[in-house]
Amino acid sequence: MESLKTLKLESPIETILYDELCKLGIEPELQHQISYFRVDMAYPELKLAVECDGHQYHTGEKNWSKDKYRQKRIEQLGWKFERFQGWLIKKYPIACAGKIALKYFPDKLTFENKRKAEHYLEVMYLRTGYHSP
């Protein structure tokens, strides 16, 4: 039976990333409201928003412009963003979660999880050339 919390997950890529973040001991809030906007996941204590961009709702000029506007407005409120494309979450789920964990929660990682996250991030970067700030 699903918990009330996991019922808030709106897509398979959100579920994948959420599960990996929880495995690392850094469970985010789901569908978090920030002003007039809602983000997929958040760590309010850090003012960190996490977005999972699926192909269906985040492709094309109109959707890209909408996402850019939302992000800019939320950043103006002092929030930071980590945004992951769906294909990246599907192919490198541990690396995506590891990026968040290493950057924002290094003290919460076990030695083993830290090494695992670093390894998967390096593999992802080498194979895709994907480097986000």
Of 1-10, 65-74, 113-122, the one with minimum mean pLDDT is 1-10
Mean pLDDT of 78-97: 94
Work out the average pLDDT over 2-21.
78
Domain edges within the chain = 6-128
Q: Report the DSSP pairing between strands 29-34 and 80-85.
A: unpaired
- Domain over 6-128 is classified CATH 3.40.960.10: yes
Residue 58: both structure tokens together: 């985040």
Over 70: is that where the pLDDT of 7 sits? no
pTM comes to 0.84
- Pairing label, strands 48-53, 80-85: parallel
Predicted confidence (pLDDT) per residue in 15-27, tens digit:
999 999 999 999 9
High-pLDDT (> 70) share of the chain, %: 83
Residue in the structure block whose two tokens are 């390096």: 122
| Residue 59 φ then ψ, to 5° | -115, 145
Give CA–CA dist 129/50, Å, rounded: 21
Write the single-letter amino acid at 128: T
Residue bearing the bigger pLDDT, 130 or 121:
121
Judged against a pLDDT cut of 50, whether residue 1 lies above it is answered with no
DSSP code of residue 55: T
Q: Would you tell me how many other CB atoms lie within 10 Å of the CB of residue 88?
A: 21
* 3-class secondary-structure state, position 33: strand
The runs of H, that is alpha helices, within the chain are 12-23, 61-76, 86-91, 93-104, 111-128
